[in-house]
Amino acid sequence: MKVVRGEVLGFCFGVSNTMNMALECLRIAERKGLPCYSIGDLIHNKDVVDYFNEKGLRVIKDSDEAPAGVALIRAHGIPDADKRTFKDAGFELLDSTCPTVLKGANAIRTAASQGRNIIVLGFAGHAETLGLQGVEVEEVVVAKTHLITSVEDAERFVKSNTLDDGDPVFVVTQTTFPRDVYEKIAAILKGRFKDIGFGNVPCPACKRRIDDAVSTALKCDAAVVVGGADSANTRNLANEVRKTGRPVFFVENAAGLDDDALSKMAQYGSVALLSGSSTPMWVIEEVEARLKEL
């Protein structure tokens, strides 16, 4: 089987930065004789989370779960109140929030302080969305937000008259929200509100990755997308590639290429090898080696 690598593979800048800061977190904790933590899963990739756990970086969600130590804020960010709670509990925080995510959070802070009504576009319960919904205008004063998760949700929102068409509105999106869904929702909101502003758009790096994945898939008979099952950007990438009509195999790692999957792939002469932005190259290379055995 011919395996064609996408040109945009492996970690994006934000994830690479988090990986570097995770190593720094471990170094600081070791030097100070303190335990080391990640507040929530470091990234949405089990292989990476397990790797750092073996090195001593334990995943916790709340400050009362473990003794105070050095804790890393992951790339998705966390609500402002959580930062304060961890600091008050004696934790030393390292912040690896992706700069693109941070831009959206800061835009909410500014717009809310100006009295604008905040609309967040994103997946309910996603770590980044929760962080955006937890932005404080000032200490302990959380910016009120309205969450829209889909085109249908947007249509219901504008019909609900929750806000008047003359109310000032400001929109911020989860960076890994699907761009086509974002654009449809933005059009609906523009058609409803007279005074509307936008703080950001879905991550440009995600768009470049998707464009490359689609282009690569079109050159092949099928595609293999490698990434965490909980990764929003990886699921979105796989969905976009499916629109090409090419068969898509979504695996977390080489273990996902079991005999059944490989027997199905054997019928294809070429396969595109693609990945989400939180997938390490060593996992991609293990998948590639497995595919080349066909």
Q: What is the mean pLDDT of residues 278-294?
A: 93
Buried-exposed string 102-121: b where 16+ CB fall within 10 A, e elsewhere: eebbebbbebbeeebbbbbb
Quick: pLDDT tens for 192-239.
999 999 999 999 999 999 999 999 999 999 999 999 988 999 999 999
Residue 1 has pLDDT above 90, yes or no: no
Same domain, 113 and 191: yes
Same domain, 117 and 94: no
Number of compact structural domains in the chain: 3
Residue 294 has pLDDT above 80, yes or no: no
Q: What is the pLDDT of residue 13?
A: 93
Q: What is the CATH number of the domain that holds 94?
A: 3.40.50.11270
Domain with 175, as residue range(s), is 100-198
Same domain, 156 and 225: no
| Domain final residue pick, 71, 98, 125 | 98
Same domain, 116 and 87: no
Residue 253 has pLDDT above 80, yes or no: yes
Same domain, 257 and 278: yes
Q: What is the CATH number of the domain that holds 170?
A: 3.40.1010.20
| Domain final residue pick, 98, 130, 153 | 98
Same domain, 94 and 129: no
| Domain final residue pick, 142, 176, 198 | 198
pTM of the predicted structure, to 2 decimals? 0.91
Same domain, 35 and 84: yes
The closest of 68, 72, 73 to 33, measured between CA atoms, is 68
Same domain, 182 and 241: no
Same domain, 190 and 104: yes
Residue 35 has pLDDT above 80, yes or no: yes
Q: What is the mean pLDDT of residues 20-41?
A: 97
